[in-house]
Chains A and B, each alone.
Chain A
């Protein structure tokens, strides 16, 4: 059974830092690109970041570029998101999501349960 389990969410002050983790199991982690998606309270979904399965190529939404860093440890089947210079508008539930591609058509087929990050003084 595919499982993605996020951890590390917390209440943090503006300007602070936080590191989220996502533990993956039930599939061959190195076969899949991974992503972070967030959802502010009462709002829609926002893609945050992507990392390739093996090359460690990364991409970021403009809203987090230069502040967030995505990484993965394929030996530990783990995905991380280092978040620095946090702002109130970063308050959201953060999801890790597995990217599934079939014939070039990609989507997010498995999601974690989500972890809440609150940025407030």
Chain B
């Protein structure tokens, strides 16, 4: 099973700050890495597919990068509505797995 390790687990951020969340895979997964946002009491929502590809309707301040084992989700100029948990997910190998999540709080 491929283990995805996110860092940090928690981040408290001021609006307009930039946020960087990393996801490290225990073995290479190419670009089969996706990012989701989950707000309280809501279902997860797809943010980025295949490490860096944007999703229609997702604000352009969200971007992804990386390949192989190291991936990054970046939020440029955080807005208050971005308070949420963020998860990475690998679809390269069964069983598929998620990272443990990163909670972003707005100061």
Whether chains A and B associate is no
Interface residues of B (CB under 8 A from A): none
Report A's interface with B, CB cutoff 8 A. Answer: none
